[in-house]
Structure 1
Amino acid sequence: MNRIKNYIKRHKIKSAILAVLLIAYYFCLPNQLFKDPTTTVITSSNNELLGAQIAKDGQWRFPQNDSIPEKFKICIVQFEDEYFYKHPGFNPISIYKALRDNLKSGSVKRGGSTITQQVIRLSRKGQSRTYFEKLKEIILATRLELRESKNNILSYYSSHAPFGGNVVGLDAASWRYFNRNANQLSWAESAALAVLPNAPSLIYPGKNQGQLLKKRDRLLKKLLENALIDSLTYKLSIAEGLPQKPYPLPQIAPHLLQRVSQTNHGKRIKTTIDSKLQQRVNYIIKNHYNQLSQNEIYNAAVLVLDVKTRQVLAYVGNTPTDKRHQKDVDIINKPRSTGSILKPFLYAAMLDAGDLLPNTLVADVPTQFGSYNPENYNKTYDGAVPASRALSRSLNVPAVRMLQEFGLDRFHHYLKTLQLKDLKYNANHYGLSLILGGAESNLWDLCKSYAALSSTLNHFTETSSKYFTNEFCEPTFLASNNIDFGDKTSGKTLFDAASIYLTYESLKEVNRPESDESWEFFDGSKQVAWKTGTSFGFRDAWAIGTTKDYVVGVWVGNADGEGRPGLVGVQTAAPILFDVFDLLPNSNWFSKPFDEMQEIDICKQSGHRASQNCKNIEQKFIQVSGLKTKPCPYHVLIHVDNNESFQVSASCEDLNNIIHKPWFVLPPLMAHYYKTKNPFYKPLPKFRSDCLGENTASMEFIYPKENNAIFLPKDFDGNTNDLILKIAHSKPESTLFWYLNDTFIGSTKDIHDMAIMPKQGPHIITVVDKFGNEAKRRITISE
């Protein structure tokens, strides 16, 4: 140290110059050698290439890969730089020989560059090939050797060397010329690629085959001579042909690639996609597209989620249609009308709130809320239907009535908690049509919500009746992401486990597509909780299903919003749903969450908690919150004679001859429609003529609805037809008296229909029965 200090003191100028040179040498090499734009690449969960998006400069240049296949590594070193592992960045002997030969010939006949020097030259693109530039390359190459390992230098070279045309780097060349991963290349293929960077503008697949073949075979001969391959491998390798033209890169998940590139452009991203499943779902979509396009339905999307990991297993953003029909549009995250797909959330919310039991009878009768007049898909009514069956049959009128009873704002709050991003307005903006498709959502959010419900059930079973605080989290298609479900808690996140389970029990009974009508009779058939939806105007068809392990979501329609006849969830989306589920492993059904349930007596006819008048009782597990629901309101105790033919009272019959009998009685309007679908429904017996019947009669209008604007139809002769008024009475045999604007117009008995010919304008229709009950309707007759 003292000698160095003394030397510096004696030779200050020389020491300063040396220090400056050392500092310049240290910083002469940029931290980032290559700044070229790169291709966006996505791979599957097992590193298979799913797709690539060309770099911004039009080059197929994959992001740098630090892993170099051994065969290519050997080939490139043997061809380009045999002493690569021994020199410090440049080879003096090679430089001398190249200089000698070039001076003799008067032109550049050979180069003496090492692989390290070539890396420097590639990074300094556009520099002239002069001796001064060569000197710079040598200096920078030595600096690179000091900074990087030999393997990293090879990685730089293999990732940035030109391979002809717009192909840069080994990974891109392997796929473009041999349609496979570089790790899968043979010796002959590796040798062919190793000789390409030497003259990429002259030699490339499809042209100059003779020169390329000679170079490749000469390299293979050298490998044999150096005992790097055996004679059999050599013979087999030189027998292999050369690639004739570039292959298109795989596009197995093009819409996922498009989505990934929005936030990870130019990167190599490992996804959660199962490549085999993705390709098989692609095939299913292609087959269905061929059928659907015959009805001018051109677009569809499928999303498959793993419930336990919340990973995306398959992502098909659209069909293989053409540009005219928006084939490049990724439908999965686009807002579309929901149709009936939100109904299960309302059913679960009412169960969770204790406003409903699974099979509680709900009204299915003509209904009007102001100017809103919902109708069932088949235009018929059941009068009264169990809530679970109303859900599995996707009946519209019961759903709207349930929403009105539950509360629009209240349900809107539940949906906001589900984080449906396209639900952008307040509850009043949507109104009661919210439950029938008045709102928009997207396939991603809906599948996410179903997965969260399924995961809630799974976690409740696995953690001894605990919930997780972050159950409603975003799914992921990035393999590097691990989902955090939050902390365990005894309190529910949104719906309790019992409400979810009972909802799924109902959805399991949804009628399957025609080809699967007898699914429940086949051993091993999958139990799937699923729901379809069809938007107004037949513009969107949905089907979303879940098992314990998987969620599958399907949307079918036209990206431009054009409706088509037959574009119905059960006919177009459901067949795709079950074709995809057929690809997935079987799952056990969800475990019953007993800690959130209680077994009680249920009235079999009404689905309510059994009252003392209910005789047909069954034991059912219900959600604990359902214990606060009211007892059955439809069973009343009546007094009949010995034959049970007439109602009687103490005023006309001896008490010893009176039988006290529970009777199932629905309100008149519900009963009117209910008995058409339930032939065993028995209306209340009439009061015997000598008895004083109690004034318990009631009646309701069937038609017209309140505040209706009515257009009187005309027949083929141009004559205006009558308006037919209809009313339901709990005692049809009663005589009803009809009034139009306080003017008596007639009476009816047994069948309560009245034909009138009112003038244009507003009218009040009044009906009175013999018990003094009165019903009124306001209508307006329009031209």
Structure 2
Amino acid sequence: MLFMSAFWFWNCLPDPLFDASFSTVLVDRDGKLLSAAIAADEQWRFPPRTRVPEKIRKAFVAYEDKRFFSHYGVDPLAFLRAMGQNLRSRKVVSGASTITMQVIRLARQGQPRTIREKLIEMIMALRLELSLNKEDILALYVSHAPFGGNVVGLDAASWRYFGREPEQLSWAESAMLAVLPNSPALVHPGKNRIRLLKKRNDLLDKLRETGAIDDMSCTLGKEEQLPPAPHSLPMLAPHLLARIRKESADIADRGRIQTSLNKQFQTRSIEILDRYHALLASGGIHNAAALILDVNSGQALAYVGNVHDFRSDEHGNYVDIITAPRSTGSTLKPFLYAGMIAAGELLPTQLVPDIPTKLGGFRPQNFSETYQGAVPASMALARSLNVPTVRLLSSYSVDRFSALLKRLGMTTLHRPAQQYGLSLIIGGAEGSLWELTGMYASMARRLNNYATNTPDAPAFFPPTYQIGTRLIAPQENPLDAAACWLTFEAMLEVVRPGAESAWEYFPSAHKIAWKTGTSYGFRDAWAIGVTPQYAVGVWVGNADGEGRPNLTGSVAAAPILFELFDVVQPHGWFPAPELDLVPIEVCAKSGYRAGPNCETRKTIRVPRAALRAGSCPYCQIIHTDSLEQWRVHSNCEPVAAIRSRSWFVLPPAMEWYYKQAHSDYQPLPPYRDDCLATLTETNTPAMTLMYPPRNGKIYIPIELSGQRGRVVFELAHRTPQKSVYWHLDDQYLGETRDIHQVSLAPSPGEHTLTLVDEDGEFLQSRFTVLTKEE
């Protein structure tokens, strides 16, 4: 019998002692509260704490159990006193419950208040004292005690009634919380406040009497007002909280989740987004998201999934845009640029055609709807020109680029590469702010690893929102440090919103490699930037996909990006990866690797793979008279009088647009009249047909009048002043000079267009006019 009693006594405590659901509590990297979700039983019950702040400890012990630290779970003196009071009153007026006994009563919730139950509580309290120390028992009590309404536990009560952590409470606030578990119904706006105030002040007097506080603290404490109404708990990261509860239910069930966020960065980011939201909403733009990542660890330091206006769900503010797939706009261009440089297929200085282009059925256009003829590749990236970039992708191939993006961590490319086609580079696919910002950060991390002499460290892994949870799978780095560095150098040249072009000369300026993006139909505005320490991504738009006229990356998203960088205060810049860069000579005019005909050259540093790059195709040797006014040849000019020199010559279509933007461009001089008659050398083509494309198919709609519409055919001539004679299917159409355009209405079927200039050079092209049925 004695053995059975001992066995029961030793195993009388339930395991676990408390089997209650907890609120999901999100804290930052320093343990500061960010957001919380109510527990499954509709109670605000934070996860148990392990230590009790000094003020709270002294207040609770003074009010509930003044001999708490000297008894073993049952206070004999208090028990005898309670028995006497109850006998004199002939009813229960005191239970003599110690804090330890109250812990047992809370754990055995729902049990009747009987003498038998009291005896069980006393026995279990004694057993609890054998298992835990006093600080642990007090922590259990304050963590599970009721504090009025649906507020359970010290942490929830501190935030609900005072909007602060328990460690930040005053003596008066600590005293108010100490008296609540005994009578939790005291806290109610406009009800029982006088009684609550008296109990709090009586406790302050008791604390003064025991020497816990001095007279001044007691007097000042009594002057403090009671909280007028419960506070709302912080909602600084509601979208991340919802994401964790959805993606990691097992983690959310633990109650307290420590994230990698920085509360200061998070708060400032929310303020910035909300301020811009107030401005953008007047233009019908209602949503925005921002993400700040630590480059080296990939940890999120700020996670603002949407604007914090939750008064209604009319505009989808509860949607977490950070994880939502959206059209990428131009945000993928740096990866193509870096990939081609890493493969030795592109030099930063290399001229790329920027002319009206049709590739298959795809006709890309620059945002400005203008053309430069030819631009250096680095400028094409900095200015986000669509046409040169599409032509580069056509050279690199969509399949290779899609594979590169997947290796860099992009998981939203669910279709075969050819289904995206060349539009992949200008928004034809969807990506998330989470992954895109992480991909930019991975490029920066590649450079940081090089600088710290750890080039084999994993550089490409997805971001994370928790500390110490990533498992990095070994993988080869698809981009070398040199390609990443050259890409970021080009991205420094993107014109900043509202800033002077010489921003880098201001002492407070930060070096930031950044890129904007705007999706088709003005539905998504992006801005993503990186420094050695941080990667920042911003998305602005409407969650329902509605487009707006001013919804562009440079106008809507870029200003937010730079304000966020002002918050994190980046410093320094990536050192050049010297060992991975080699010097080569390039043509000063074309940017290609210098060929034998290039007169002016310059030296640049490029990855070793660029040593395979082809030489300049645009510098050629021509022969002129002594004044370099006319082109000549040996049949019309004495050899001794002929001057041979290098000349920078672009193809006619590129030249047509290039010379409009470059006044220093010198077209090829014309042949002298007497040299034309005896011309036998092969000449560079003087004409390029801009539209229709060679062997192309066009559709001409029927107008409202019922007649077939017309289409403008366009030609670029190296010398616009030359006359060009137009023929369609051997039928003469007319002559053009200066502006070589003809409006035609060809019938359905195949046609042949023939053009002859006044020098006798001709160009022939076939095209097909489709019928409506085709």
1:278·1:314 contact (CA, 8 Å) conserved in 2?
yes
2:350·2:376 contact (CA, 8 Å) conserved in 1?
yes
**Who is 2:31 aligned against?**
47
| 2:9 aligns with one of 16, 20, 25 | 25
Superposition pairs of residues 449-460 of structure 1, within 5 angstroms: 449-460=439-450
Give, in whole Å, the separation in 2 of the partners of 1:734 and 1:137: 108
**Who is 2:83 aligned against?**
99
Asked if residue 265 in structure 1 is aligned to residue 257 in structure 2, the reply is no
**Who is 1:406 aligned against?**
396
Give, in whole Å, the separation in 1 of the partners of 2:274 and 2:71: 56
Cα 1:237/1:777, change in 2 over 3 Å: same
Asked if residue 476 in structure 1 is aligned to residue 464 in structure 2, the reply is yes
Give, in whole Å, the separation in 2 of the partners of 1:712 and 1:118: 86
**Who is 1:390 aligned against?**
380
Q: CA deviation at 1:103?
A: 3.7
Cα root mean square deviation, aligned: 2.2
Please identify, of 350-359 and 231-240, the stretch whose mean Cα deviation from structure 2 is larger: 231-240
| 1:593 aligns with one of 570, 577, 590 | 577
1:762·1:779 contact (CA, 8 Å) conserved in 2?
yes
**Who is 1:301 aligned against?**
289
Superposition pairs of residues 144-543 of structure 1, within 5 angstroms: 144-204=128-188, 206-262=190-246, 263=248, 264-266=251-253, 267-321=255-309, 322-463=312-453, 466-481=454-469, 493-515=477-499, 517-543=501-527
Secondary structure class of the residue paired with 1:648: coil
Q: CA deviation at 1:35?
A: 1.4
**One-letter amino acid of the structure 2 residue matched with residue 725 of structure 1:** F
Secondary structure class of the residue paired with 2:604: strand
**One-letter amino acid of the structure 2 residue matched with residue 498 of structure 1:** A
Q: Deviation per CA, 1:108-141, whole angstroms, max 9, x where unpaired?
A: 2111111111111101111111111111111211
**One-letter amino acid of the structure 2 residue matched with residue 777 of structure 1:** R
Secondary structure class of the residue paired with 2:616: coil
Give, in whole Å, the separation in 1 of the partners of 2:616 and 2:748: 45
Cα 1:218/1:749, change in 2 over 3 Å: closer
1:695·1:771 contact (CA, 8 Å) conserved in 2?
no
Superposition pairs of residues 642-657 of structure 1, within 5 angstroms: 642-657=626-641
Q: CA deviation at 1:771?
A: 5.5
Cα 1:632/1:567, change in 2 over 3 Å: same
| 2:731 aligns with one of 732, 743, 762 | 743
1:471·1:485 contact (CA, 8 Å) conserved in 2?
no
Give, in whole Å, the separation in 2 of the partners of 1:100 and 1:619: 100
Q: CA deviation at 1:207?
A: 2.2
Please identify, of 704-713 and 375-384, the stretch whose mean Cα deviation from structure 2 is larger: 704-713
Please identify, of 59-68 and 250-259, the stretch whose mean Cα deviation from structure 2 is larger: 250-259
Asked if residue 544 in structure 1 is aligned to residue 533 in structure 2, the reply is no
The number of residues matched between the two structures is 760
Q: CA deviation at 1:673?
A: 1.6
**Who is 2:117 aligned against?**
133
Asked if residue 111 in structure 1 is aligned to residue 95 in structure 2, the reply is yes
Cα 1:238/1:735, change in 2 over 3 Å: closer
Unpaired runs of 5+ residues, structure 2, are: none
**One-letter amino acid of the structure 1 residue matched with residue 288 of structure 2:** A
Give, in whole Å, the separation in 2 of the partners of 1:144 and 1:722: 94
Identity over aligned pairs, percent: 46
Give, in whole Å, the separation in 2 of the partners of 1:233 and 1:379: 73
Give, in whole Å, the separation in 2 of the partners of 1:426 and 1:103: 86
1:469·1:486 contact (CA, 8 Å) conserved in 2?
no
Give, in whole Å, the separation in 2 of the partners of 1:447 and 1:723: 44
Asked if residue 123 in structure 1 is aligned to residue 107 in structure 2, the reply is yes
**Who is 1:77 aligned against?**
61
Please identify, of 209-218 and 493-502, the stretch whose mean Cα deviation from structure 2 is larger: 209-218
Q: CA deviation at 1:339?
A: 0.5
| 2:753 aligns with one of 757, 761, 765 | 765
1:51·1:257 contact (CA, 8 Å) conserved in 2?
yes
**Who is 1:6 aligned against?**
none
Superposition pairs of residues 542-691 of structure 1, within 5 angstroms: 542-691=526-675
Q: CA deviation at 1:247?
A: 0.9
**Who is 1:60 aligned against?**
44
Cα 1:777/1:28, change in 2 over 3 Å: same
Superposition pairs of residues 696-711 of structure 1, within 5 angstroms: 696-698=683-685, 699-706=687-694, 707-711=696-700
Please identify, of 526-535 and 197-206, the stretch whose mean Cα deviation from structure 2 is larger: 197-206
Cα 1:538/1:602, change in 2 over 3 Å: same
Give, in whole Å, the separation in 2 of the partners of 1:484 and 1:522: 42
Q: CA deviation at 1:759?
A: 3.0
Q: Deviation per CA, 1:28-79, whole angstroms, max 9, x where unpaired?
A: 2112111111111122223222121111211111000002001111111111
Give the structure-2-normalised TM-score. 0.94
Q: CA deviation at 1:752?
A: 3.4
Please identify, of 180-189 and 740-749, the stretch whose mean Cα deviation from structure 2 is larger: 740-749
Secondary structure class of the residue paired with 2:347: coil
Q: CA deviation at 1:98?
A: 2.1
Please identify, of 561-570 and 105-114, the stretch whose mean Cα deviation from structure 2 is larger: 105-114
Cα 1:170/1:644, change in 2 over 3 Å: same
Give, in whole Å, the separation in 2 of the partners of 1:227 and 1:736: 106
**One-letter amino acid of the structure 2 residue matched with residue 276 of structure 1:** Q
Cα 1:151/1:751, change in 2 over 3 Å: closer
Q: Deviation per CA, 1:142-187, whole angstroms, max 9, x where unpaired?
A: 1111111111111110000000111111111111111111011111
Unpaired runs of 5+ residues, structure 1, are: 1-16
Give, in whole Å, the separation in 2 of the partners of 1:591 and 1:477: 28
Secondary structure class of the residue paired with 1:613: coil
Give, in whole Å, the separation in 2 of the partners of 1:158 and 1:550: 40
1:451·1:546 contact (CA, 8 Å) conserved in 2?
yes
1:205·1:242 contact (CA, 8 Å) conserved in 2?
no
**One-letter amino acid of the structure 1 residue matched with residue 42 of structure 2:** G
**One-letter amino acid of the structure 1 residue matched with residue 252 of structure 2:** H
Give, in whole Å, the separation in 1 of the partners of 2:186 and 2:371: 78
**One-letter amino acid of the structure 2 residue matched with residue 603 of structure 1:** C
Cα 1:326/1:365, change in 2 over 3 Å: same
2:409·2:462 contact (CA, 8 Å) conserved in 1?
no
**One-letter amino acid of the structure 2 residue matched with residue 774 of structure 1:** L
**Who is 1:695 aligned against?**
682
**One-letter amino acid of the structure 2 residue matched with residue 776 of structure 1:** S
Q: Deviation per CA, 1:585-638, whole angstroms, max 9, x where unpaired?
A: 241121111111111211111111111211121121122211110111100011
Q: CA deviation at 1:447?
A: 0.8
**Who is 2:769 aligned against?**
780
1:758·1:781 contact (CA, 8 Å) conserved in 2?
no
Give, in whole Å, the separation in 1 of the partners of 2:352 and 2:186: 79
Give the structure-1-normalised TM-score. 0.93
Cα 1:97/1:766, change in 2 over 3 Å: same
1:255·1:317 contact (CA, 8 Å) conserved in 2?
yes
2:351·2:377 contact (CA, 8 Å) conserved in 1?
yes
